[in-house]
Amino acid sequence: MAPGLAGYIVRRLLWAIPVLFAISVIVFYMLRLAPGDPVDSLLGQRYREEEAALIRKKYGYDQPIHIQYVKYMRHLLQGDLGVSTRHQSFTVSEIILPKIWVSARLGFIALVISFFLGIAAGIYAALARGTFLDPLTISFWLAIDAVPIFVAIPFLQWLFAVKLDLIGLSWQGFTSPNIILPILILSLPGTAGIARFVRASVLGVMKEDYVRTARAKGLPERIVVFRHIARNALLPLITIIGLSLPGVAGGSLIIEQMFGIPGIGAESFEAVLAPDFDVILALVLFGSVLFIVANILIDILYAIIDPRIRLGAQRG
């Protein structure tokens, strides 16, 4: 491990505190000051000031915003994310954690698949440069990427479920084959971007002196490709992987809606419409934490893989 790594992590984590504090204040005030509150949507056409006042009191919305904020933070620091006004018998953690878990697993599987395919296709295309196989590979994935999911999903659903009768479309969890279609649709379109990135990166590395040296030494092509080219060419991918992690846990609204997946994408959408104050706040804070952690992870990974990179300021 690089020297000073522990100190670096601690410093970065300490920096995260004021960032998260600022985010929480801004989002908290924005939610409360925006027109429309949860009581509006709870009561709908039956809204009367008498009942609305009772409900505002029940949730503490009648108090000044800074008091509400202090109370919220006190609960938050005790691990209590508050209550959902859309799912009244459930706490925010009970609502969002299982859904984040569903979306994160789904997203992670899709991410692994699209990176695996993308890296393979990218390296293959780069090595095949100058032949028709290079543009064929890239165009193939671009063509898949270019199909709008509004077209792809109904067509694939009809083809695999109704026509071929291979799978069902209702959500049955991760052990059911029904999961295959949403995973394909989540992973395949992302492959093109990764493939192009890897291809460019590999082509860049192939011009490096050390690759020429390795070839000149008479190393087998397999060793040159995997040890010298791929390893160096894939280093920038860490940033892409790291930055796609928060998105992975965020879920996909459209895909979740069209497959009836109980994920966090659909929940976030509904929470914002309601608006479900505590759920929105919890999701924003969760996203921020994920983003900060992903960034720290990227830095650490770079330091481990590439010893030339030094983290932060060095002490004598």
Partner 1 sequence: MSNRMLALMMGVVAFLILAVGVVFVIALAGGGNDENTTPASGDGDSRPSTSAGGICNGNSLVIPGSQPNTVLDPIQVVDVSTSEYVVEIFGGLVTLDPQLQVVGDIAEKWEVSNGGRTYTFTLRDNVVFHTGNQRRVTAEDVKYSIERAADPANASPTVVAYLGNIVGLKDRFEGRAPSVSGVKVIDERTLQIDLLEPSDYFIYELTYPVSFVVDRQQIESDPRNWTRNPNGTGPFRLAEFKPAERIRLVKNPRYHLGAPKLDEVIFQLGGGSLLTQYQNDEIHTTPVPASLLDSIKDGSNPLAKDYRSYPALATFYFTLNPNKPPFDDPKVRQAFALSLDRETINSVLLFDYYDVAEGIVPGAMPGRSGTVRTYPYDPDRAKQLLSESKYAGNMPRIVLTYAGSGAAPGDVLVAIQENWQQVLGVTVELQAIDTAAFLREQRQGNFQIQSDGWSADYPDPENFLGKLFASDSPLNYTKYNNPEVDALLKQARVETNRERRYQLYAQAEQKIIDDASIIPTFWSVEHLLVKPCVQGLPNAPMTIPRYRYVEIKEP
- In the complex, the residues that contact partner 1 under the rule CB under 8 A are 35-37, 40-48, 50-51, 54-55, 57-58, 86-90, 95, 98-99, 132, 135-136, 139-140, 143, 153-154, 157-159, 161-163, 165, 168-171, 257-262, 266-267, 270, 273, 275
Strand ranges for the chain from DSSP E: none
Rounded to a whole number of angstroms, the minimum distance from the CB of residue 82 to partner 1 is: 14
Rounded to a whole number of angstroms, the minimum distance from the CB of residue 315 to partner 1 is: 51
Cα 22 to Cα 110: distance, rounded to the nearest angstrom = 33
Strand ranges for 108-267 from DSSP E: none
CA quadruple 83, 84, 85, 89: dihedral sign? negative
Contact assessment for residue 180 and residue 167, using Cβ atoms and an 8 Å cutoff? yes
The residue assigned the tokens 């084959």 is 177
Question: What is the per-residue DSSP string for 49-95?
Answer: HHHHHHHHHHHTTTS-HHHHHHHHHHHHHTT---B-SSSTTSBHHHH
Cα 315 to Cα 89: distance, rounded to the nearest angstrom = 53
Q: Which is nearer to partner 1, 139 or 213 (CB)?
A: 139
Q: Which is nearer to partner 1, 165 or 209 (CB)?
A: 165
Here the tokens at position 189 are 């379109």
Q: Which is nearer to partner 1, 4 or 134 (CB)?
A: 134
Rounded to a whole number of angstroms, the minimum distance from the CB of residue 95 to partner 1 is: 6
Helix, strand or coil for residue 91? strand
Q: Which is nearer to partner 1, 37 or 299 (CB)?
A: 37
Rounded to a whole number of angstroms, the minimum distance from the CB of residue 94 to partner 1 is: 8
Rounded to a whole number of angstroms, the minimum distance from the CB of residue 208 to partner 1 is: 23
Contact assessment for residue 139 and residue 218, using Cβ atoms and an 8 Å cutoff? no
Q: How many CB atoms lie within 10 A of CB 298?
A: 17
Rounded to a whole number of angstroms, the minimum distance from the CB of residue 257 to partner 1 is: 6
Q: Which is nearer to partner 1, 208 or 270 (CB)?
A: 270
Q: Which is nearer to partner 1, 206 or 230 (CB)?
A: 206
Which amino acid is present at 52? A
Which amino acid is present at 127? L
